[in-house]
Structure 1
Amino acid sequence: MAPTTTAFKRVLIKLSGESLMGAQDYGTDPERVGAVADAIKAVHDLGVQLAIVVGAGNIYRGMSGAAAGMDRATADYMGMLATVLNALPLQDALEKRGVTTRVQSALTITEVAEPYIRRRAERHLEKGRVVIFAAGTGNPFFTTDTAASLRAAEVHCEAILMAKNGVEGVYTADPRTDPDAELIDEITHMEAIERRLRVMDSTALTLCMENRLPIHVFNMDDEANMVRIVSGERVGTLVRTPA
């Protein structure tokens, strides 16, 4: 039975591009996109206001050869455009499930997305629309992790839900290569930065720390995890700076 109350009123979900890839080498898998959309809808149905930032690793993996040796700023703009290519199928899948969705892009692409305007984004969230923030921050040299931290702070989200693929949260080492790696239940932003743990890049972590924005790191392979987190359950790793 769905809970009548939730731990959060508004959260931002950070999805990796790989979460939309499925078993493919790159690109988006419609079945996997549908499964992610189902998980998002389950959280939305609880009355939680949802913003989303999606990465582009699934598309950029296929462009890596073309980007080799390219100017960093040019390559980063390519990556920003790739996030738009991920935002649109996710929007389509959500709309087909009856979830009203808006894509806001940090780069001007008016034919397919609204420009990012903070107050408009907040109004969409207040009306129960899911807002997908595309094109990162609109600036090169910043990751989609930083975009997620920035947008979450700007639209006053209470937490970031950081989806990972194939791992349960944050570990003391890479669990794929180190059999002695241990799952960390809770850690501060500063400890994560100092220990160089693979949560977010240091710029994103610092932004979250300064805004006291908690990060829930969880395994996206279990689509029910997001519902558990917004329902108040402890799942994966919690990164926060105590008041």
Structure 2
Amino acid sequence: MNEPIIHISELYKKYKDADDFSVNNLSLSIEKNEIFGLLGPNGAGKTTLISMLCGLVKPTAGKFTISGLSYDKNATQIKKTIGVVPQEYALYPTLTARENLRYFGSMYGLKGKELHRKVDEALDHLGLLKFADKKIETFSGGMKRRVNLIAGILHQPSVLFLDEPTVGVDVQSKNVIIDYLKELNSKGTTIIYTSHHLTEAQDFCTKIAIIDRGKIYAEGTPDGLIHGTPHAHNLEDVFISLTGKELRDDV
């Protein structure tokens, strides 16, 4: 069996002055080429876990590797092989789409004709080329989401982290984004994805882990989780069965 592309062992994170662990003794392996969904209520620990895997937050204890590498010894190398698409738009509103993407591409070491070609190809692929020289502040939510996605994949990462990639977009933009992500996955990109859209996750993900209170409550294929949960007809039923109906309002 191949070594997992991401291997997490007994990982903990407790923020300063917090009463509880945001991530609590979490172990997980993610195989290459998976579309892996991390699903859970507000405050479950999803964003903290992804932040640690992206090198943005240091664990309190435990360890993990990406492609066999750890941040302790190979931080620069890891950051070249991962892509991150945050829920918040990481774009400069007064720059055009093309200017934004050339800037972000250059941060990953792309330059010259290769950079210009990759930017224009991605804009064209996601239906944005005719808007390439319009300022981001004039774009709709769905258009911004698509540019946000391109910014994270120009350097062709082997692992792509997505935090709510289709939140607040129209149906057409959502379909374009999901189709593009499936195409990236078919070409070898492992995708780690968080979302509150359980129907989307059920159709999109090859594997899923349901997280709550910093721990994994269940892991498997969408169909396997549904068939293994009494009276469950879909992933939402599984989710409610494991995490309960209590409101998780977060401020």
TM range (shorter): 0.3 to 0.5
**Larger CA Rg, structure 1 vs 2:** 2
Give the TM-score normalised by the residue count of structure 1. Answer: 0.32
Give the TM-score normalised by the residue count of structure 2. Answer: 0.31
